[in-house]
Amino acid sequence: MCKVFCVGNQKGGVGKTSSAVNLGIGLAKLGNKVFCVDADSQGNLSVSLGIAEPDSLNYTLADILRDTINEVDVGRKGILHHEEGIDFIPANIDLSDMEVQLINTIGRETILKQYIEQIKYDYDYIIIDCSPNLGMITINALTCADSVIIPVQASYLPLKGLQMLIKTIMKIKRQLNPKLNIEGILITMVDGRTNYAKEIIQLLKSEYGNTIKIFENFIPRSIKQDETAVSGNSIYKYAKNSKVAKSYEAFVSEIVGEV
């Protein structure tokens, strides 16, 4: 059975896209069939997978959603393949217009779900990289997901918005998607040399650890991770022996152990 993960946080700059890319490719390295969906109009996942100019693409997630609304058979149109073994649907600025269009659409929260239901039987895992907001596209992603992975930077300010995100997830679970669960919180951009990072991790565990899983494996802060988007490859290919690559491998193993 295919499992659908959302990787989301309404706060940007927390390693969300990096986590989505390296989770997806990490799962593929273990022999799984993986499909990634760029659900962010900034197209960061698309860029990270080698699409230098997402805005120049002729067919993206926005077109898939539009065709789905118009009951056009999408099939596998627009699906791209990355050399590290995953398929993906790119996104660009057109997704911002779709956000507005969905407001007046019947069944507006379930349009992405209709598409995912068509293609999920071809894959073991689907990873959706959400926008850094709680808009209609993100609600669509949460409505079709089985679980949410929440990357959180080891810093005080990103923690403040976490409660709002969790409330939104629980509201969608009650009203739109009863199967939705929080897979866990992934702590990212950790500078393990500082007491500050250790204090933030302890605060996170004390605030949420009793009700939400905190993944044991943290993702360290690394310039290598920042450079991977330019290369269009995962951290496993760009810097396979780095600490951040080993951390993502351990995180992927933790995910597989939970499924």
pTM here?
0.94
Six-digit token pair at 242? 């780095």
Six-digit token pair at 196? 């500050």
In terms of DSSP H, where are the helices of 120-231?
Answer: 136-144, 156-160, 162-175, 195-208, 223-231
- Gap between the Cα atoms of 149 and 24, Å rounded: 12
Residue range 238-251: mean pLDDT, rounded: 94
Alpha-carbon torsion 171, 259, 232, 119, what sign? negative
Tell me what pLDDT residue 121 has.
Answer: 95
Distance of alpha carbon 100 from the chain centroid: 22
Of 128, 130, 30, residue with least CA distance to 85: 30
User: What number of helices (H) and strands (E) belong to the chain?
Assistant: 12, 7
Tell me what pLDDT residue 70 has.
Answer: 95
Six-digit token pair at 123? 């894959």
Tell me what pLDDT residue 194 has.
Answer: 78
| Tens-place pLDDT, residues 27-76 | 999 999 999 999 999 999 999 999 999 999 999 999 999 999 999 999 99
Tell me what pLDDT residue 230 has.
Answer: 80
| Tens-place pLDDT, residues 133-159 | 889 999 999 999 999 999 998 776 656
Alpha-carbon torsion 103, 104, 110, 111, what sign? negative
- Helices 61-69 and 94-102 pack at an angle, to 10 degrees, of 30
Residue range 122-135: mean pLDDT, rounded: 95
Tell me what pLDDT residue 159 has.
Answer: 66
Q: Is 167 left (phi over 0), alpha (psi -120 to 50) or beta?
A: alpha
Residue range 214-231: mean pLDDT, rounded: 86
Q: What CATH number is given to the structural domain containing 193?
A: 3.40.50.300
| Tens-place pLDDT, residues 11-32 | 887 889 999 999 999 999 999 9
Domain of 238? 3-258
At residue 10 the predicted structure's pLDDT band, cuts being 50, 70 and 90, is: confident
- Gap between the Cα atoms of 36 and 21, Å rounded: 8
Q: Where are the beta strands (DSSP E) in the chain?
A: 3-7, 34-39, 80-81, 86-89, 125-130, 147-153, 181-188
Tell me how many domains the chain contains.
Answer: 1
Mean pLDDT of the chain: 92
Tell me what pLDDT residue 258 has.
Answer: 63
Q: Judging by beta carbons within 10 Å of its beta carbon (0-12, 13-18, 19+), is residue 108 exposed, middle or buried?
A: middle
Q: Is the pLDDT of residue 163 over 90?
A: no
Looking at residue 200, its amino acid is: I
At residue 259 the predicted structure's pLDDT band, cuts being 50, 70 and 90, is: low
Looking at residue 230, its amino acid is: V
